[in-house]
Amino acid sequence: MEKFLSITVSSLGQQYVSVAGVKLIDEATSTATTTTIHYMDGTVTTITHATDTGFSVLLALQTAMVSALSTNWQNPVWPVNLSVAVSGITNA
C-alpha cells in the first residue's frame, strides 16, 4: 500500500508527499530554506520553508516516514508536524 506524508503548505493547506521509494532526505545546511527528498526513480521533491535551524525539517520528515511505514495499510496518510512554515512543494 502506498503511504503519504501530509504537510501543511501556507497557502494551499494539506499536501501529500509519497513515502514510497525514498532514497535520501537532504538539507544542505542547518539554516537551509529547502529540504529535498530524493527517490529511487530519480525524481526529487523539494520542500521550500522558512529558515530551518538545526535540521528540524529533515529530522521531522525522517521521523514521520518511519512512523508512516510502521502503520498498517489502513492508515495511508501520516501528518508531519513542522516547526517552520512551508511555502511550497514541487516534484521534478
Q: Is the pLDDT of residue 1 over 80?
A: no
- Domain count along the chain: 1
* The model scores a pTM over 0.95: no
Q: What is the pLDDT of residue 53?
A: 87
User: What digits encode the pLDDT tens for the residues 25-77?
Assistant: 999 998 999 999 999 999 999 999 999 889 999 999 999 999 999 999 899 99
Distances from the Cα of 9 to the Cαs of 16, 35, 52, 71, 86, in angstroms? 10, 14, 15, 24, 5
Q: What is the pLDDT of residue 51?
A: 95
Q: Which domain holds residue 46?
A: 4-91
